[in-house]
Amino acid sequence: MALIDMIPPNLEWRVYKGDSSTLTLIVKDENNELVDLTPWTFTGHVKKSPKDLEPEFILAVVGTSEGIISVTVEDSHSLYPQMYFDIQGTHTEDNVVKTFVKGQILAEEDVTNNGN
């Protein structure tokens, strides 16, 4: 029996609180060619639990014509030790919705700015 897996890849993103943190994803097609992501709009949500109705905050997400998705945590101080996120794109021409990646953000306490 063939398996069709539509579940997005899962990753663990480790962040050091107080530091700027950007995750860079490279998107390629079945021919290993970079995908033009300019016809996509992206959003990224971070929640304490995947079942929460509302996100704790929204990630800054940008897609480029060179197949790059940049995801930035703008305020790493607000992260709890373990949170959940996903990056979802909507194709602007045909409204296809695709979750490109999902996972956990693990935030380690900062020594220098501890709580500031």
- CATH number for the domain that contains residue 27: 2.60.40
Query: Is there a domain that residue 9 lies in?
Result: no
Per-residue pLDDT, averaged over 51-58, amounts to 95
Instruction: Look at residue 48 and tell me whether its pLDDT is greater than 80.
Output: yes
Per-residue pLDDT, averaged over 85-107, amounts to 95
Q: What is the pTM of this model?
A: 0.87
Query: Is there a domain that residue 2 lies in?
Result: no
> What is the distance between the alpha carbons of residues 26 and 111, in angstroms, rounded to a whole number?
32
Q: How many folded domains does the chain comprise?
A: 1
pLDDT band at 5 (very low <50, low <70, confident <90, very high): confident
Query: Is there a domain that residue 45 lies in?
Result: yes
> What is the distance between the alpha carbons of residues 108 and 114, in angstroms, rounded to a whole number?
10
CB atoms within 10 A of CB 40: 21
Task: Tell me which residue range forms the domain holding 81.
Answer: 21-103
Per-residue pLDDT, averaged over 18-30, amounts to 92
